[in-house]
Homo-oligomer: A and B are copies of this chain.
Amino acid sequence: MAKTKINQDTEGQILNAAEKVFQKKGMDGARMQEIADEADINKAMLHYYYRSKQLLFEAVFANAFSLLAPQLNKIINDDSSVEEKIKNFTNNHISFIAKHPYLPNFIIQELNRNPKFFEQIQKNAGFPSLEKFKTQVAAEVEKGILKPIAGEQLFINIISLNIFPFVATPLIKGFLKLDDKGFKKLMEQRKTEVSEFIINSIKK
């Protein structure tokens, strides 16, 4: 209450609220009123700052994606060895997700709903290509450090093993009969186990 009429980063407040609601309910499930309530603000303000639901959503999505992309960049454009990359990425990922639990599912879900989002985002940022990683893997295979594997497949394996459990959390919890605590424990173990699992498989 006692809200001053001064604009103290109303725009940011809206973006935070929109993030929360959109990431939880998706574009279709989210309601403008709910976002307004979450931001403790009049609904008309949403339109004042971001013309439409679509544009507000796009702001949230771009923001979310800009958090995920650098994570993957560590695999793609870092200078360390493949083994180090795997260890680093795997170890960091769990901690990262803990701070953004809805993020992977949100991005995947909305990218499925409208694959064109990828093109739009690809333009904005100088977007990373997998080329470097592919040549790096090929080189390490050549040197006899790694068993033969295509860079693409290894990349897919790394992100699958790391991201999937957080996308399919309810499925895994259901099949494994885990509560929040049990699930968290299992994910904590994966911080080291997953990288061992991968390296075990590819190292000569």
Binding site for B on A (CB under 8 A): 25-26, 28-29, 72, 105, 107-109, 111-113, 115, 118, 122, 128-130, 147, 149-150, 152-153, 155-157, 159-161, 163-165, 167-177, 186, 189-190, 193-194, 197-198, 200-202
Choose among B165, B175, B177 the residue that contacts A160 (Cβ–Cβ < 8 A). B165
Residues of B near A25 (CB, < 8 A) are: 28, 113
Task: Return the contact of A118 from the options B164, B174, B190 (Cβ within 8 A).
Answer: B174
With A160-B164, A164-B159, A200-B201 as given contacts, are A153 and B108 in contact (CB-CB < 8 Å)? no
Q: Out of B108, B115, B171, B200, which one reaches A147, CB within 8 Å?
A: B200
Give the shortest distance, in Å, between A103 (CB) and chain B (any CB). 12
